[in-house]
Amino acid sequence: MAKLKAEKGIEPGLAVIIVGEDPASKIYVRNKKLACEAIGIRSEEYALPENTTQEELIALVEELNNKKEIHGILCQLPLPKHLDEEAVINAISPKKDVDAFHPVNVGKIMIGNFDFLPCTPAGVMELIKESGIDVKGKECVVVGRSNIVGKPMAMLLLHQHGTVTVCHSKTRDLKEVCQRADILVAAVGVPELIKGDMVKEGAVVIDVGMNRLPDKLVGDVEFDSVAERACAITPVPGGVGPMTIAMLMKNTVKAATL
- Whether the pLDDT of residue 34 is over 80: the answer is yes
Non-local (6+) Cβ contacts of 144 within 8 A are: 150, 153, 166, 167, 168, 185, 186, 187, 188, 189, 208, 220
Mean pLDDT value of segment 12-40: 92
Minimal CA–CA distance to 236: which of 202, 177, 194, 176? Answer: 194
Which of 3, 8, 26, 32 is the catalytic position?
Answer: 32
CB 135 within 8 A of CB 157: yes
Mean pLDDT value of segment 148-171: 97
Q: Clarify whether 179 is annotated catalytic.
A: no
- pLDDT (tens digit per residue) in 99-145: 999 999 999 999 999 999 999 999 999 999 999 999 999 999 999 99
Rounded-to-integer distance, Cα 27 and Cα 36, Å = 14
Q: What is the pLDDT of residue 9?
A: 78
**Cα 93 to the center of its chain, rounded Å:** 19
Q: What is the pLDDT of residue 24?
A: 80
Q: How many helices (H) and strands (E) does the chain have?
A: 10, 10
Least confident of 16-30, 44-58, 173-187, 188-202: 16-30
Q: Clarify whether 76 is annotated catalytic.
A: yes
Which of 3, 8, 54, 76 is the catalytic position?
Answer: 76
> Could you give the residue ranges of the DSSP H alpha helices within the chain?
2-8, 23-39, 54-65, 85-91, 103-111, 119-130, 150-159, 174-179, 223-227, 240-257
Q: Clarify whether 84 is annotated catalytic.
A: no
3-state secondary structure of 100: coil
Q: Which domains does the chain have, with CATH numbers?
A: 2-92 (3.40.50.10860), 119-239 (3.40.50.720)
- pLDDT (tens digit per residue) in 173-231: 999 999 999 999 999 999 999 999 999 999 999 999 999 899 999 999 999 999 999 99
Which of 96, 97, 99, 200 is the catalytic position?
Answer: 99
Q: What is the pLDDT of residue 6?
A: 64
